Amino acid sequence: FRDGYLSERTEIPLGQAGRPFVVGGMACDREGRKLFVANTYGHTLAVMALDGRRATRYLELEPETYPYTVLPTANGRRLYVSLWGRAAVAVVDLAELRVTELWQTDLHPTEMALTPQEDRLFVACANSNVVVVLNTADGKPQEAISAALYPRAPPGTTPNSLALSEDGKVLWIANADNNNLAAFDVTQPGRSRSLGYIPVGWYPTSVRVDPRDRRIYVANGKGLSSQANPQGPQPLLRAPQTVEQYIGGLFQGTLAVIAPPTPQEMQRYTEAAFRTSPLNAEFAPPAAPPEPNHPIPARPGLPSPIKYCVYIIKENRTYDQVFGDMPEGNGDPHLCIFPERVTPNHHALAREFVLLDNFYVESEVSADGHEWSMAAYATDFVEKSWPLVYRPGGKDVLKYPAEGAYEIATPAGGYIWDRCLAAGVSFRSYGEFVDNAPNPGEPGKAAVPALEGHFDPHFRSYDLDYPDVKRAERFSEELKRFEAEGELPQLIILRLPNDHTYGLSAGKPTPTAMVADNDLALGRVVEALSHSKFWPQMAIFVVEDDAQNGSDHVDAHRTVALVISPYCRRRAVDSSMYSTASMLRTMELILGLQPMSQFDAAARPMYASFQPEPDLTPYVHRPANVDLTALNPTTGWGAEVSATLDFSKEDRADDLLLNELVWKSVRGLDSVMPPPVRASFVFALPEDEDEHDDAEEGDEREQRGDPDQRDTDE
C-alpha cells in the first residue's frame, strides 16, 4: 500500500490437485515469514514460507471439520484453528505440524482473540449467542460471555467476529444477526461485564481496533439496505461484470469507522441498539390479539379453536408476478405475468379469504429460503456459503448448502419439527427436507434424522418433471387414510414446487403451464382439506420459500402468501407487514410451540388475518384455464439459453436469467423485463377503514414510524 494505492499485486498458489481449496481465515507469524491458511471446505491447513524457499506444507484435518480461521501464538510454537463444524478449537504443534489437542467450544466457533499475555483465548461461537473463553494452560472454559441483548434470548445473535483492545481490557464482538457490536470489560478473568452495544450496519462480519487511535472498524457484510438494480443483466447482451446487478451481488458491503466512544456516547449507542431491536425481554409477540376470544393465542400454551396447521411451501414468485392484477391490493398489473386466467385458484383463495399484499420473505435464494421457512433463521454457515455456491462455477466445487445437505447448516434452535417433538405435537412432511429416489414410485429418504417416521416416502419432493397435480393426488390419498383412522397430524408440511418452472427449456412444459399446474394442485389440496372432517379446526398457510429475484414494484422480497381457515377474515385485505417468521410464529402460537430463534420470537403474529367467529364454508377449486400440456419449442434462442441451465436442484439455474426467460415466454421475445426493486424501508400504510379498531390503528402508527407510539410500545 503506497500513497493511497494498492500495488505490486501477487498471487499465491495454494490449491491441491483433486480437492477444493477455498481460502478461509489466514494469519502470518510475528516475523511475517510464514503464512497460515485455513482451507475451510477442503478440511486442510496450509503453511507457506513467504520467502518461497520451502515448499508449502499441508495438514490434513478430519472430514467435516471446516477450519474457519487460524491464530498463531507469539512464540511460533502453537497455532489455534477454529473448527466451524466441530464446536472445537484444534491446537496445532507447528514444529511437528500435527493436532495435539481439541478444546471444546459452543456451536460454530469462528474468530478468536488472545489476550496480550496469551493466557486466555476468546472464541466467537456463531451458532449460539456466546463467546467462549478458554484457559490456554489446559483448554478448559473459564466463562461464556453472552453477546445477546437479553441473557435468555433464543439463538439468533450470531457472534462471528472478535477484537481486543491493545491492552486486552475491552472485547468487541460483532453480532451478525443483531446488527450491532457488543462491548465487554474483560480485565478480570471469569468476571467479564457488559459495557453496552453499538448499532452498526447489516450483518457485520468483522470488527477490528486500530491500536494507534483506538478507532473501531466494522465490515458490514450486507451493507446498509437493499437497492434497485436497473442495470440487471440481459441473457443475450451480457453487461460488463462491473455493472451486473444480480441479487447476490447487490449487497455492497460497507466499512464503518467508529471513534472510541465516551461512557455517555456508549449509553446513547446502547439505548439505540435496544430501541432498534424488535425483540423484547419476555420474547413475547410484539402485538396482542385484538379480541379476548381471538383464535390466535397471545402466547404458547393458551387454548386455540384451531388444532391443525397445514404449511404449504412453493418456489420462487413475487407478489406482483401473481397478484399484481388484483385491484383489491397494492399490485402493479404491468408486472403480473401469471394473472387470474393462469392462477384462478390463487386469486379465488385470496379473494374468498385474505389477500396479503405486504408479506415478505427474509431469504434471498432457495438455499437460505428453505432454512428460513423451516427454522426462522439461516446459520452463518448457510449465509456465508450460498454466495460461494451461487457464484459462476461455484456449484461445480461446493454443494447446495441447505435442506439437510450439511449437518453444520442445522440451526442451534432446530427446525419446526424439532419444536414439535419437544412439545409432543404430531407432524408429517410431504417433500420438505426429503431426498427423492432416482425414479418416481420409489421411496424417498428423510434428509434429517428428526423426520424419520414423520414423512411420506412416496410423496415426490423437488422434481420439475413430476406434476404438482400428482402430488395433490398423493396427498389426497393420505388425507382419506387419516379420515378413516380418525386423526390428522397437527402440523403438515407440504411441498408444491413447480411454480419454479423450467424456463424455456426445449420440450419441457411452458412456464405458464407449470404455474397453472401448481395453481390447480393448490386448489385441489385446499378443496380436499376444506371438505374433510378436520376443516372446522384447521388453518392452512401458503408461502414461497423465496421470491427468486423477480419483478415487484415494492420490493423483490415481497411474495405470494395465503392464509385459509374457517377462522380467517373473509373477503378481506390484510396490509399488515408480515414475513415468513410471522407465519411461523402464528403456527407456533396455535400449536403451543416455543420460538426457534430471535426472529420468530420477535415477529408480528398474523392476528389481523383471523377472526373469532368461524365460517365453515368449504372451498371449491377452479379448473385450469390454460393448456397444462403445452410444451416449449425445441428451437430458438430461449431453448438454447435454457439448455445451459441446471434444473436438477432448485436455484442451480441463474435466477435472473430464468426470470427473464419466464417473462419473455409470457410477454414476448422483444419485451424487456423490469428490474427487481430493493426497498430500503417498507412502511405499511393501509387506508383507514371503519372496521379498524384501536389496536389496529396502533399497529398502523407503529408501522408508519410514529415516535410517540414507538416509545409507548417500548
- Neighbour tally for 350: CB within 10 Å: 28
Cell digits of residue 606: 398474523
Choice among 333-337, 460-464, 521-525 with the minimum mean pLDDT: 333-337
Q: How far apart are the C-alpha atoms of 537 and 71, rounded to whole Å?
A: 57
Element (H, E) at 34: strand 34-39
* 182 contacts 173 by C-beta, under 8 angstroms: yes
Whether pTM exceeds 0.85: yes
Asked if the model's pLDDT at residue 243 lies above 90, the reply is no
- 12: confidence class by pLDDT, cuts 50, 70, 90: confident
Name the E strands within 323-380.
Answer: 354-356, 359-360
Beta-carbon contacts of residue 503 (< 8 Å; ≥ 6 apart)? 511, 638, 641, 642, 645, 647, 653, 657, 658, 661, 662, 665
Asked if the model's pLDDT at residue 332 lies above 70, the reply is yes
Strand pairing of 88-93 and 354-356? unpaired
Cell digits of residue 151: 441473557
Mean pLDDT of 256-273: 97
Q: How far apart are the C-alpha atoms of 602 and 593, rounded to whole Å?
A: 14
Residues β-bridged to residue 257: 217
Mean pLDDT of 471-483: 98
Identify the pLDDT of residue 672.
Answer: 67
Q: How far apart are the C-alpha atoms of 108 and 409, rounded to whole Å?
A: 10
* Backbone phi and psi for residue 194, each to the nearest 5 degrees, phi listed first: -70, 140
Identify the pLDDT of residue 681.
Answer: 45
Identify the pLDDT of residue 690.
Answer: 39
Choice among 126-135, 363-372, 561-570 with the minimum mean pLDDT: 363-372
Asked if the model's pLDDT at residue 319 lies above 50, the reply is yes
Average pLDDT score, the chain: 88
- 126: confidence class by pLDDT, cuts 50, 70, 90: very high
Q: How far apart are the C-alpha atoms of 492 and 540, rounded to whole Å?
A: 9
**DSSP letter, residue 437:** P
Angle (CA) 23-173-167 rounded to 5° is 100
Mean pLDDT of 622-640: 83
Count how many residues are written for the chain.
Answer: 714
Residues β-bridged to residue 546: none
Identify the pLDDT of residue 647.
Answer: 61
- 93: confidence class by pLDDT, cuts 50, 70, 90: very high
Identify the pLDDT of residue 698.
Answer: 38
**Collapsed DSSP state (helix, strand, coil) of residue 71:** strand
Q: Which residues of 259-276 are buried (b: 16+ CB within 10 A; e: fewer)?
A: eebeeeebeebbeebbee
Q: How far apart are the C-alpha atoms of 333 and 321, rounded to whole Å?
A: 9
* 297 contacts 304 by C-beta, under 8 angstroms: yes
pLDDT in tens, 341-388: 999 999 999 999 999 999 999 998 889 999 999 999 999 999 999 988
* 155 contacts 128 by C-beta, under 8 angstroms: yes
Asked if the model's pLDDT at residue 687 lies above 70, the reply is no
Q: To which residue does cell 398489473 refer?
A: 333
Q: How far apart are the C-alpha atoms of 502 and 499, rounded to whole Å?
A: 9
Identify the pLDDT of residue 575.
Answer: 96
